[in-house]
Chain A
């Protein structure tokens, strides 16, 4: 009797071990000529490499700077050092299994990414989400926005030289991570929002945890503002730096606080309300100058608006289910499986094969802490997506960097990168 050859598993396939000499890090002279001014080739200006390992590039961004003294003549961002192939990997996974991957794109705001993807799936399949789940999503989205802004404020201030703000921000962030942990079991990568609602209902002590944030935060925001808002050193480093006009910001595709800092009133929560954002009363803070300071002011005001939304949503949080009762997408409750053959079949189908989405293409966007986080989802009738594309706000917000840093001082580029609030996981995906 012949023994069948065991199939080759992916894990056993030989890996192409990375050879350091294989990868060409330098670019040729011809390529360089197109990127920098002719003065760089005569040695009149200096070329300086910043990153990918640099504490102020917020990850692994590499910048090639051409400097005339301390003034930046040109700035060429080089991205892709964190390219993870998330979009391609998502094509090989069922819809449910893509959610953990979305956590890892913009890892400072995992819930926003979850919601963007689940919203796209819901739109494609046509799923109604229960109102309690929608309200809880709003609460979690706003907490996520605060989470994202806290890391921004901490690292931005650290870059400019205010160390204590970083420690304060990380202290407050732990309160939000506690809520993440209570609802999902994980501190950062929550994967809590699922197509059709939420993974499970929030625990009994959820209102107390949120109330603690609501009680403590307003005072802490004042504390940060006392340290920074009127601080002459802070203003010296931020006012009038990295200016971008409203027209340019729109043309470059900027969104979020970077766009609103230039005075453009565009917020996905208002423009295309999702997850019943239209039930809540809040305003969209706007800047006027489009400089680093205005972007800072916009984000600080967004803290207050987020608290306002959470307060309203907590007050009006309705009881009820948190998952749709459509058994084609939502798993049946455990106790039903014991006596219902149908539920057992649904459970088996969902966890072995996953649900099927119809053929078609949808776009669904949410307002994450950084801007419009959109998901373009194309289904082909199978349980796996044909194509997933993330419209990452950081990627678009990074684009004008070479424009707005022209003529700035070398030290200012650190402030500018901080103010556009990029996450390289989001840029490179």
Chain B
């Protein structure tokens, strides 16, 4: 590593609790295995062979909301799906984050009609919006790295 040479043989690092906790949180985000529409296929590509999301410490998709930290809303949210989505969000333990992947989840996209919720931020708080229809895997990875940056600068607070 090289770290041990710099610090001598003391074996002690001083940092703030906030930084240590955020460092740990940001590098092991477990997303929920939750796909809605077209973007879910690109989300699958992001985890699969060519793009390999596990390089960023978040390949471990959990099928249960109880075990996940991050909800990637991948696709359009219909009015029938909206309460289910909110329910899933409420079941996730704190701290938790949301990425709105794609135009439909961000703002309704091309579907400005009776069936689609015009942006998932109407029902859950969104941390990062990823543009594209669907976003390329690189774009999603960029969104995830933006979220990691955001987590690193979050103050320690009491989660409701």
Q: Which residues of A contact B (CB under 8 A)?
A: 10-11, 15, 17-18, 20, 23, 25, 52-55, 59-60, 80-86, 88-89, 100-101, 104, 107-108, 151, 166-168, 170-171, 173-174, 177, 187-189, 424-425, 428
Tell me whether A107 and B78 are in contact in the complex, defined as CB-CB below 8 angstroms, given that A53-B88, A89-B113 are known contacts: no
Q: Does B21 contact A (CB under 8 A)?
A: no
Q: Does B95 contact A (CB under 8 A)?
A: no
The reply to whether B134 and A189 form a contact with Cβ atoms under 8 Å apart is: yes
**The one of A81, A177, A188 that contacts B38, using a Cβ cutoff of 8 Å:** A188
Residue of B whose beta carbon sits closest to that of A58: B35
A166 smallest CB distance to B (angstroms)? 7
Q: Give Cα A17 to B84, complex, Å.
A: 15
What residues of B have a CB within 8 angstroms of the CB of A89 in the complex? 110-111, 113
What residues of A have a CB within 8 angstroms of the CB of B20 in the complex? none
The reply to whether A167 and B38 form a contact with Cβ atoms under 8 Å apart is: no
The reply to whether B84 and A52 form a contact with Cβ atoms under 8 Å apart is: yes
What residues of A have a CB within 8 angstroms of the CB of B133 in the complex? 189
Tell me whether A171 and B49 are in contact in the complex, defined as CB-CB below 8 angstroms, given that A10-B112, A18-B83, A18-B122 are known contacts: yes
Give the number of residue pairs across the A-B interface with Cβ within 8 Å.
112
The reply to whether A84 and B76 form a contact with Cβ atoms under 8 Å apart is: yes
Interface string of B31-42 (1 = CB under 8 A from A): 001111110111
Residue of B whose beta carbon sits closest to that of A23: B83
Interface string of B133-148 (1 = CB under 8 A from A): 1101000000000000
The reply to whether A80 and B80 form a contact with Cβ atoms under 8 Å apart is: yes
Interface string of B70-101 (1 = CB under 8 A from A): 00000110111111101110000000000000
Q: Does B24 contact A (CB under 8 A)?
A: no
Interface size for B (C-beta < 8 A) is 42
Q: Does B117 contact A (CB under 8 A)?
A: yes
Q: Give Cα A89 to B63, complex, Å.
A: 33
Residue of A whose beta carbon sits closest to that of B50: A174
The reply to whether B50 and A82 form a contact with Cβ atoms under 8 Å apart is: no
Q: Give Cα A83 to B48, complex, Å.
A: 28
**The one of A25, A177, A189 that contacts B83, using a Cβ cutoff of 8 Å:** A25
The reply to whether B38 and A425 form a contact with Cβ atoms under 8 Å apart is: yes
B120 smallest CB distance to A (angstroms)? 10
Residue of A whose beta carbon sits closest to that of B33: A55
Starting from the known contacts A20-B82, A20-B87, A81-B81, 18 additional A-B residue pairs (CB-CB under 8 Å) come to A18-B82, A20-B86, A20-B123, A25-B83, A60-B36, A84-B76, A84-B113, A85-B115, A104-B37, A104-B110, A107-B37, A107-B38, A151-B44, A167-B48, A170-B48, A171-B48, A177-B45, A425-B37
B60 smallest CB distance to A (angstroms)? 13
**The one of A82, A168, A174 that contacts B76, using a Cβ cutoff of 8 Å:** A82
What residues of A have a CB within 8 angstroms of the CB of B81 in the complex? 52, 60, 81-82
The reply to whether B36 and A23 form a contact with Cβ atoms under 8 Å apart is: no
Q: Give Cα A309 to B50, complex, Å.
A: 28
Q: Give Cα A55 to B42, complex, Å.
A: 15
The reply to whether A80 and B40 form a contact with Cβ atoms under 8 Å apart is: no
Q: Give Cα A31 to B111, complex, Å.
A: 32
Q: Does B106 contact A (CB under 8 A)?
A: no
Q: Does B118 contact A (CB under 8 A)?
A: yes
Q: Give Cα A82 to B36, complex, Å.
A: 7
B74 smallest CB distance to A (angstroms)? 11
The reply to whether B134 and A15 form a contact with Cβ atoms under 8 Å apart is: no
Q: Give Cα A20 to B79, complex, Å.
A: 10
